[in-house]
């Protein structure tokens, strides 16, 4: 067996509506599935959202809003991303900085979502 890709991950959130609004400003699309579950779609991946205290089974041992640290690849150079974040009212916490990603060097800025998760937005160099 060999792992080949990431299909989805789960974020535990305090306020799904605020989370959806934030990630939609980053270009993701929200979608309901199953029995009213909620996900954010981008590219070939998705982020499933679990409401804190009402997590879908099975779930992480200690699901908690604000415990995630994610790196998301963006299609625009970081100066363009900075302008778009400014227009969307999303503050940059750190950056731009150079980082090493899974496939090489990245230029990144960091933002925080409504739960305080650290979101790295990166463009390959």
* Residues catalogued as catalytic: 120
Nearest in space to 73 (alpha carbons), one of 93, 102, 114:
102
Site of tokens 């363009």: 80
**Which token pair is 64?**
């908690």
Sign of CA dihedral 20, 22, 23, 28: positive
**Which token pair is 117?**
């998760």
User: Is the preceding omega at residue 96 within 30 degrees of 0, hence cis?
Assistant: yes
């Amino acid at each position: 067996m060999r792992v080949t890709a990431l299909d989805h991950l789960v974020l535990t959130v305090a306020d799904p509506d605020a989370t959806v609004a934030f990630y939609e400003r980053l270009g993701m699309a929200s979608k309901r599935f199953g029995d009213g579950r909620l996900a954010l779609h981008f590219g070939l991946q998705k982020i499933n959202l679990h409401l804190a205290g009402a997590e879908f089974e099975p779930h992480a041992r200690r699901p908690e809003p604000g415990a995630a640290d994610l790196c998301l690849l963006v299609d625009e150079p970081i100066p363009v991303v900075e302008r778009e974040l400014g227009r969307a009212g999303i503050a940059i916490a750190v950056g731009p900085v150079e980082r090493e990603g899974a496939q090489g060097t990245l230029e990144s800025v960091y933002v925080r979502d409504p739960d305080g998760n650290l979101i790295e937005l990166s463009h390959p160099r």
